[in-house]
Structure 1
Amino acid sequence: MTDITTIGEVLIDLTQTGVTPQNVPLFAANPGGAPANVAVAAARLGASTAFIGKVGRDGFGGYLTGVLKENGVDTSGVRTDAAPTTMAVVTVAASGERSFRFVRGADSALTPEEVDTRLVEGTKVLHFGSVSLTAAPARSATLFAARHAREHGVLVSYDPNYREALWGSQEEAVEWMRTPLPLVDVLKLSDEELPLLTGNDDPEEGSRRLADQGVSLVLLTLGAGGAFYRWQGRTGQVPGVATTVADTNGAGDTFLGAVLSRLVRRGEKPLEGLTAPELEEILAFANRAASKTCSRSGAIPAMPTLAELEDGKGDA
């Protein structure tokens, strides 16, 4: 049995790194995509992971599949498509202001028929995000996988990572980001996403509204403030770890990958018998992992290994 299977986007983060003497922009093609990041983060922290998604039949697609394999992620659920591999392009103006744009491709072409149900049924946790809900047929494939997991007793994890550029309007985004909630056991969201999903920016009240919709464990990331949780009617906050930040890219995915990597150690039913003190230990571990990622540049390249955290080096 696999510990964690993620479904959704794996893509190229094409990030401007500077300019030539002729003022021509220079870009680095970094591996990215939140669900893929979570799979890698958890794998580096000792969990067995798999990824379901789609890449183009091009050099970027081969590169991304190779990165997943190099990090111990099962890629048997990765499909290829005639559409090019998806890219997220980040450009930097002379003023230093960044602009962000997705060039959608193969990731949104995954169909329900292409979802490997054996991977979904044979895992302790299925995780997905909201980027794959932004376009068909990937939207249908993601919801199909979540329903299939639920029907087979698999824990469902969801990160409604809001990307404004991918939605026609905020109203459309809110509608689809809320759609999977009845299927979800573990929800990780940021303080910016809480009011979108609940209409309330107070962690206590917002998390209560999510729990009322059936979400068992609500995790709210607060940046330097650490993480807030709601579990079995109890709430609490675990402080963050002070660090010199080089790059926050991938920190949230590292945090969630770390949480899930610890939960699956508990057995086939990761939430069964979980106590608040045990949860707080898990969140402290996840905060350390996210802090380590923030202290280094890049997302996947910056993610820590289990050895780094267990010997105390995770404290930046």
Structure 2
Amino acid sequence: MKAVLSLGELLIDFVPETNGQALADVGSFRRAPGGAPANVAAAVARLGGRARFIGKTGTDAFGDFLIQTLADVGVDTSFLTRTAEVKTGLAFVSLKEDGERDFLFYRDPAADMLLERNDITDELFAEAAVFHFGSLSLIADPARSATVYAAEQARKHGLLVSYDPNVRLALWPGAEDARRTILSYMPLADVVKVSEEELEFLTGTVDVREGTASWFTQGVRLVLITRGKQGSTYVLPDGSTGDVPGIPAQAVDATGAGDAFVGAVLYQLAERMTCNPGDVLGGLNHEVLVRLLTFANVAGALATEQRGAIPALPHMAVVNKALDDLREKR
């Protein structure tokens, strides 16, 4: 299997020991490794795939911990660089009773924001099938220029490009700047994943066909919309859509659930590109997409059943058991 490359932020999530408290009322937090693109790389590796992470940490104890965490789950960190200029990013996460989150970020700036174009080298793309990036590295230079360059190079090397807007308005100068910037980079992507809330924020509508239509005119070829415990929806350039139900889960923390979903999707696409190096997206009919998204829905649901992001990402054996249980019930 060829590698999945993931570029962006790698940081520490501090999560409370109990749910249902406002951030100001939390008495103690537990350290957990996180950062959406890093979570995606870890999700691919946990499933048994090859994953490389491209990013930057500080030369501090938190950076040491994050690099070791990725290495321990099997992610190639050869292209992860470090800086002594600023510290590794932090995020404090308040968990509501339903497992949803409120964030407070410490990134003024953080090390991941200093990723540079020179950190992107040709050997990164060797034996790779998919390149994935998010929107947080597009907020400001130098990380923005490095991200765009990496996506362009991925296209040049024949990789499939995946984009997760992952809207975090607290990190942007303003909502309109976030919307405009996120949308402006849609032409870089083959596959786009958004949540229902992100679709409405970016497009002003919850109608999946209407909301995604302009993205397909810019070159996007597959849009995936996550709907929490309800599952997910796919949209294709011809306007065809399909809903794939989720599975029940005892959710305690939704942190990383979307990243587990993305990692599961990209793992499967990379695996298909190994077997069939032709037009992998062109071969995704309804039947194939239902299988692909069922697998990803299960991975995402399982990731909600433990606290933190990377520690909660499921192994292949766990996903397969849940899939077997699902088939038996049906």
User: Alpha-carbon deviations, 1:121-140, whole Å to 9, x = none?
Assistant: 54100000011112221111
User: Is 1:300 aligned to residue 310 of structure 2?
Assistant: yes
User: Alpha-carbon deviations, 1:275-294, whole Å to 9, x = none?
Assistant: 22111101001111111111
Opposite residue 74 of structure 2, the aligned amino acid is: G
User: Is 1:248 aligned to residue 289 of structure 2?
Assistant: no
User: Alpha-carbon deviations, 1:146-168, whole Å to 9, x = none?
Assistant: 11111222110000000011011
- 1:6 touches 1:38 (CA, 8 Å); kept in 2? yes
- For the residue of structure 1 that corresponds to 2:104, the secondary structure is strand
Number of aligned positions between the proteins: 311
1:162 matched residue in structure 2: 167
> Which of residues 181, 187, 192 in structure 2 aligns to 1:182?
187
- Distance (whole Å) between structure 2 residues aligned to residue 138 and residue 229 of structure 1: 30
User: Is 1:89 aligned to residue 92 of structure 2?
Assistant: yes
- For the residue of structure 2 that corresponds to 1:25, the secondary structure is coil
- 1:52 touches 1:116 (CA, 8 Å); kept in 2? no
Unmatched 5+ residue regions in structure 1? Answer: none
When structure 1 is superposed on structure 2, of 286-295 and 54-63 the one drifting more is 286-295
When structure 1 is superposed on structure 2, of 102-111 and 272-281 the one drifting more is 272-281
Residue 178 of structure 1: CA displacement? 1.1
Opposite residue 105 of structure 2, the aligned amino acid is: F
> Which of residues 264, 267, 271 in structure 2 aligns to 1:265?
271
Matches within 5 A, 1:174-213: 174-213=179-218
Matches within 5 A, 1:136-155: 136-155=141-160
More strand by share: 1
Opposite residue 169 of structure 1, the aligned amino acid is: G
Opposite residue 311 of structure 1, the aligned amino acid is: K
Query: What is the TM-score with the length of structure 2 in the denominator?
Result: 0.88
Unmatched 5+ residue regions in structure 2? Answer: none
User: Alpha-carbon deviations, 1:241-276, whole Å to 9, x = none?
Assistant: 112211111100000100111111112454242222
- Distance (whole Å) between structure 1 residues aligned to residue 4 and residue 182 of structure 2: 22
Residue 310 of structure 1: CA displacement? 1.6
User: Is 1:112 aligned to residue 122 of structure 2?
Assistant: no
Residue 304 of structure 1: CA displacement? 0.8
Matches within 5 A, 1:268-283: 268-269=277-278, 270-283=280-293
- Distance (whole Å) between structure 2 residues aligned to residue 294 and residue 148 of structure 1: 34
Residue 91 of structure 1: CA displacement? 5.3
Distance 1:261 1:314, change over 3 A: farther
User: Is 1:129 aligned to residue 131 of structure 2?
Assistant: no
- 1:58 touches 1:85 (CA, 8 Å); kept in 2? yes
Query: What is the TM-score with the length of structure 1 in the denominator?
Result: 0.92
2:80 matched residue in structure 1: 78
Residue 92 of structure 1: CA displacement? 7.8
- 2:295 touches 2:323 (CA, 8 Å); kept in 1? no
Residue 295 of structure 1: CA displacement? 1.9
Among all aligned residue pairs of Structure 1 and Structure 2, give the percentage whose two residues are the same amino acid: 46
Matches within 5 A, 1:19-30: 25-30=27-32
- For the residue of structure 2 that corresponds to 1:220, the secondary structure is strand
1:3 matched residue in structure 2: 3
- 1:231 touches 1:276 (CA, 8 Å); kept in 2? no
Matches within 5 A, 1:219-238: 219-233=224-238, 234-238=240-244
Matches within 5 A, 1:29-108: 29-82=31-84, 83-90=86-93, 100-104=103-107, 105-108=110-113
- Distance (whole Å) between structure 1 residues aligned to residue 227 and residue 26 of structure 2: 37
Residue 117 of structure 1: CA displacement? 2.9
When structure 1 is superposed on structure 2, of 215-224 and 112-121 the one drifting more is 112-121
User: Alpha-carbon deviations, 1:85-109, whole Å to 9, x = none?
Assistant: 111123589xxx9752211110100
More helix by share: 2
- For the residue of structure 2 that corresponds to 1:243, the secondary structure is coil
- For the residue of structure 2 that corresponds to 1:311, the secondary structure is helix
Residue 297 of structure 1: CA displacement? 2.0
